[in-house]
Structure 1
Amino acid sequence: MNVFEILAISQDLAGLTYFLGTLLMAVPIPVYGVKKWGPRLVIDGIYSSVLVNLYETLIAIIAQLGSYLGINWSYYMNWLYQLLTGELQVYTLLRTLYTTITSFPYGGINPIVGPLSLFLSMISGFMSITGTLIVISQLVYNYVGLILALGILLISIPFRVGRSIGGSFIGFSIVFYIGLPLLPSFLSAFNVNVLQNTVNSADNLTVLATQVIPAYIEGTILMPLVYIGILTSLSIGIGSAISGSYSRLPIPVDFL
């Protein structure tokens, strides 16, 4: 099912919502709990129809805002893959050193084994976070139009069944498509550059413990967590404004 098929279904649901509203307004049942839905459904049907017809306008606005802010998805994805490559290099170096030490007799009781094991676990965690961010970024970049259309579809469902989650889909698609590529710029604004931190020698564990690991903690956990939190707040705000009710993100962002 492509985007325009989803929009066609959304338009049908918007029409259904409108006519259900007119039907409830005309039904001779003097029950306020039933009658109050009539005007609401009429307004919801019109609103959903407007959103369907504004789909291409919303896509154009997203692209225009992105261009105005100077987003570059190619640079951003390349930055993520470079970050993952650097983490993998550090992990491979530490893993080689760990395997070499533990291969000797009584190597397991070497005092350096404990810190190495800890560093390996931390670097593995950093790679998991970066990999998850890559997956989410690819999802947003490749399917922003589909996510937006699904949001409109959910809002179009009668009786506001999917209104909240629909608004969150729309807010998520707008904010994260524009905001995610600006993550490297956000880090640079605070002089955080994790791509410059690496270990070229297995003997230089001091550099690893005092520079590389702290830089990765700051550049792949703390600062991205703050930035994702900002994007999440903006997404929820836009989603709530569009849906007229409290919304949540369509995907969990607590992987950090």
Structure 2
Amino acid sequence: MSTKPPTPLVNLPNGAQTEMNFLESTWFKTHGLTREFPSPEEVHALAPKENLVPVKFVDLDLVVKFEPNVSTSEAIRELPVPEMILSRLRTLRQNESEQAIGSLSHSPSLDQVLEFRSLLRPFLTVASFHDWLSWLWCRHDPDPQSVPDVWRQELPDNVPIVITHGDLHRSNIIVTATSPTRVLAVIDWEQAGWGPDYWEYCKAKVTAHYNKDWRGWIDVFLEPHPSALEAFNWYADTPGAL
């Protein structure tokens, strides 16, 4: 793995802002010189009525995603091919004074597995995050500390905190329509944030269909974490845990 200095959060998209323009992007350097973004009225006019899906503006080479929960945290730049995307993302590190598990802007995690869970907050260490996961499923016991949790030991406290996409499956990976096939971009960064190194693997496995070949490919471009995956599945499947 290549090494880079810590990347301050100020250099990443800030989900607290309601609007951000990336003037160095390809769109602003081409269409943005003479055209404007579609208005909300134009987007809604082309959107299917039955559900909220991205709307394509072919003449602008633009896809517009809209829904109540979309934030500027999703605006991570396009990076080529899955292996390079993940290896490059993992070279980014928070400054020690800023380190936390949570959203890119250090608010509580936006991951759908964790959202709205009791006492969700930014966690300053991997161990405190794991202790919280363990506490969640036994918190209704009169003495939670006395409840044995064999899965807690399967979660490694010594892994780094890295940027995690959180929803890595085939429908979020754009590839070329012609051969040889190349990956153009990974999209839909709604759940992205800072998480333990194994979290990307667990989320990708959980969202992959057991009978599809995609599930096997996950072990090729992500480092497998079988023990952490078992613990993840336990916490996710136990009623009242997550």
Q: TM-score if structure 2 supplies the norm length?
A: 0.30
Q: TM-score if structure 1 supplies the norm length?
A: 0.29
Q: In proportion to residue count, which structure has more helix?
A: 1
Q: In proportion to residue count, which structure has more strand?
A: 2
